[in-house]
Structure 1
Amino acid sequence: MSSSPLLMRLLSASVGLSHRAGKIIRDIIKTGDLGIHDKGFDDLQTEADRSVQRCIIGSLQQHFPKISIVGEEDLSYDSEMQKFLEKDFSQDVLALNCPDNLKNVKENEVIVWVDPLDGTKEFTQGLLDHVTVLIGISVNGNAVGGVVYQPYYNYQAQPPTTLGRCIWGMVGLGTHGMEKKSPPEGKNIITTTRSHSDPKVAGAITACEPTEVMRVGGAGHKVLLVCEGIAHAYVFASKGCKKWDTCAPEGILRAMGGSLTDLHGNDIVYRLDVPRPNLTGVVATLENHDWYINKIPEDIKALFAAPS
C-alpha cells in the first residue's frame, strides 16, 4: 500500500473510515440518547457528529500527518480519540490506477473537508434517509474526489436489507457504489433546502422553471439525487452551505462528468485562506449546467457577488 500514490491511499482510507462512521451513527441512535447540543442559530450537534469527526480526523491525522484537514465541528482531540482510530483501508480503491495528473500530488497540496454528519437536523427528526457522512478531497483548491456514506440507505426497505451505502469517486476514476442515471425526460425536477428557504432561494428556483421541487435536508443527499437522476439540478441561492458540505459531493459529481459551481458558474475554491461558507451559492447538475446558470436572474446573482 505504501507504494500507491498519496491520493489513492487517502481515498482508500476515507472509504474505510466512512463505513466505520456509519456504524458509529447507527450504534448511537440505538442508545436512544443523541446527545443533542444547540450551537445556536438552529445549528444542532449530536454525539454522532462528535464521535464520527473524532474517528475520521483522528485516523486521517495518524495516517497522513502532513495533510490539512478541516472538520465542521470545533473539537479537541485527546486520549478519547484513540478508541475511534480506524486502520482498515479499502482494497477496492487501491486496486485501481491513479489518474496520471494526480499521481505526484504532494501532502501540502491536499486539504480534506469533513462533515461527520450532514443533515443533523433531519437526523434528530428521524428523517434518516437525508443523513450522509462526507469526506471531500481537494488539491490546490479544486475538489477532485470524495466519499459520501449513507448510514441508513435502505432503512425502509421491505423486506429488511443491509443498511448503508458508500459512494466514492475521483475525477479520472469515475464514481463507484452508485449507477449514473439520466433524469426523467419532459420534466425539470429541482432539489433544494428543506428548512432554509427565503425569497432569494425561491426566486432562483422559480426562474429555473421547475416541474417539481424536492425540498430535502443535507447537501450530500441533494447532490446524490442529482447523481442518480432523481433530480435534474440542485439550486441553492444562499450563503448557508459550507465547504465541508460540498467538497465530497462535488468530487463524486465531477467524477461522473457533472458540475457543481456557484450561482455565477464559477468553481468553488477549497483553500484554507477562503471563507468556509459558500458565499456565492450552489448549483449542481449532471448536464445542461449553463442553462440553469443563465436562468438565474441577474438581480439575484448580484446579491451573491464574490467578496473582494
Structure 2
Amino acid sequence: MTIKIGSSVRIHRYAIGISIILFILFYIYAIREVSYLSSRFNNKQKFVSLRSLLKSSIKASKLGGIEIADVHNNYKNINIEIKGKTKEGIDDPVTIADYKSHCAMYNYLQTMFPTINIISEESKKNCDDVLSSSDAIIAEETIVFDDDVDGYYDTSIDPDDITVWIDPLDATKEFTENLLNYVTTMVCIAIKGVPIIGIIHKPFGTSDDTYWAWPEHGYSKNLAAIKNSIVNDDNDDDDGGVVKPILIVSRSHAGEINNISKNAIGDNVKIISAAGAGYKALEVISGNATAYVHNTLIKKWDICAGAAIITAMGGSVTSLTGQPLDNFGAKDNVSLDDGILATMKHHNWYLDKFVKKY
C-alpha cells in the first residue's frame, strides 16, 4: 500500500488557504453590513416625527395637570417656597405641584425623545426625589385623545433644530390662592427658534380644556370651532383700528399698564387684570380681549405656547417694540426683555400706539 503524504499535505494547505480567503471575504461583508444597518438606524434616529412629538406633548401637558390636581386634592402642605422676585417686585413662588408636574412632563418627553432639547421652568429640580402620583402613572397608558392626532400631516425634523419649552404650572401664585381657573400647563415646540406648535392644558377645566394648534396642519376641536367662528365684527372702526379696545394684563402690574394703555390709546380702553400667560393668550384667542399686553420682562416658557397658538390661529405676537419672536432656540436667553403684544386683529394699530409710549 502506498500513502501519498505530500499530496495530502498540499490538499490540506489548499483547503486552509481557501478557508482563510472565504473568512476574510465574509468578515469584510459582515463589517459592511453592520455599518450599513447602523447607518440606517442612525438616520432613523436623526430625525423626529413632528406629529409624534405633538401627540407626546399633548400627553405630557395632561400628565402634568394630573400631578397638579393630585397636589391640590390630596396634599395638606404644598410646600410653598419663594425662588425670587418678579420684575414687579412680587414674590415668585414654587410648590411641590410645580416640581411634580415638571418631573412628569420633562421625564416623559425626555424618555420619548432623548435627542431633542427640552427647557423647563423648574429644570433644576432633582426628579429622583419627587414621586409621581398613582393617577399619573396609570394615566400615562390610558390618556384618551379627544382629537385624532394620528390622522394629521407629518414631517421629520432634525432634533438639533427642535427646542421644547415646558411650563409645568403657569400661575403658581394663583394656585396657592385657590384661583384655579388661571392655572395651566404648557408645552411649546419651537423649530429653529420660532414657536410653531403650542399646547395649553387647563387641569381644573373640563375634558375639553386642552388647546393645541399646528399652523395649517391641525387644531384641537375647541380651537377649530373658534377659528371657524372668527369673522369681522362691529368692533372695527373706519380707520382700521378698534372701537372698544379690551386689554388683558397681568394682575401683578395692572395699575402700571393701565396708565401706559390710557396714555397710548385713550380713556376708551378697558383693562382686564388676570393671571397666567396661558390663560391670557386663550382669552385673546376666544375674543374676550382684543389684546394681551405685558410691558416688562417675561420668561419664554410663559409665552411660547400662547404665541404659537395665536400665530397658528391667524393672530400676531411680537415684543412691545415690534420685534418678532424668533429666538426660542436652546442656546437663546430664557427671557424676553421688551414685553409682549398679542392680538388676533389690528396688531399694527396697537403696536403703533404702544411703540410711541414704550
TM over 0.5: yes
User: Which residue in 1 is equivalent to 2:77?
Assistant: 33
Structure 1 residue 66 and structure 2 residue 115: aligned?
A: yes
> 8 Å contact 2:248–2:293 — kept in the other structure?
yes
For residues 221-256 of structure 1, the C-alpha deviation after alignment (integer angstroms, 9 at most, x for no partner) is: 1010001011000011111x1100011111111111
Structure 1 residue 234 and structure 2 residue 289: aligned?
A: no
> 8 Å contact 1:58–1:81 — kept in the other structure?
no
Structure 1 runs not aligned, ≥5 long:
154-161, 301-308
Structure 1 residue 19 and structure 2 residue 19: aligned?
A: no
Letter in 2 for 1:214: I
Q: Could you tell me which of 111, 117, 128 is aligned with 1:78?
A: 128
Specify the SS of the correspondent of 1:296. helix
Letter in 1 for 2:72: I
Structure 1 residue 271 and structure 2 residue 329: aligned?
A: yes
Structure 1 residue 152 and structure 2 residue 204: aligned?
A: yes
Distance in 2 of aligned mates of 1:228 and 1:47: 31
> 8 Å contact 2:67–2:132 — kept in the other structure?
no
Structure 1 residue 96 and structure 2 residue 152: aligned?
A: yes
Distance in 2 of aligned mates of 1:271 and 1:48: 27
Specify the SS of the correspondent of 2:279. helix
Which has more radius of gyration? Answer: 2
Distance in 2 of aligned mates of 1:122 and 1:144: 28
Structure 1 residue 286 and structure 2 residue 344: aligned?
A: yes
Matching of residues 1-308 of structure 1 within 5 Å? 6-31=49-74, 32-41=76-85, 42-73=91-122, 74-78=124-128, 80=130, 86=140, 90=145, 92-98=148-154, 103-153=155-205, 162=206, 165-176=209-220, 177-178=222-223, 179-180=225-226, 182=230, 185=235, 186-197=243-254, 199=256, 201-206=257-262, 207-209=264-266, 211-239=269-297, 241-268=298-325, 269-300=327-358
Letter in 2 for 1:136: C
Percent identity among equivalent residues?
31
Distance in 2 of aligned mates of 1:81 and 1:59: 14
Return 280-289 or 203-212, whichever deviates more: 203-212
Distance in 2 of aligned mates of 1:299 and 1:228: 27
Number of equivalences? 285
> 8 Å contact 1:152–1:163 — kept in the other structure?
no
Distance in 1 of aligned mates of 2:356 and 2:163: 33
Distance in 1 of aligned mates of 2:115 and 2:126: 18
Distance in 1 of aligned mates of 2:71 and 2:79: 9
Deviation of 1:78 after TM superposition, in Å, equals 2.8
Q: TM-score, normalised by structure 1?
A: 0.85
- Taking a change above 3 Å as real, the CA distance of residues 61 and 82 of structure 1, as seen in their structure-2 partners, is farther
Deviation of 1:211 after TM superposition, in Å, equals 3.0
For residues 97-127 of structure 1, the C-alpha deviation after alignment (integer angstroms, 9 at most, x for no partner) is: 13xxxx2311110000001010001111111
Distance in 2 of aligned mates of 1:286 and 1:242: 22
Structure 2 runs not aligned, ≥5 long:
1-43, 86-90, 236-242
For residues 123-155 of structure 1, the C-alpha deviation after alignment (integer angstroms, 9 at most, x for no partner) is: 1111111111010110000000011001122xx
Specify the SS of the correspondent of 2:197. strand
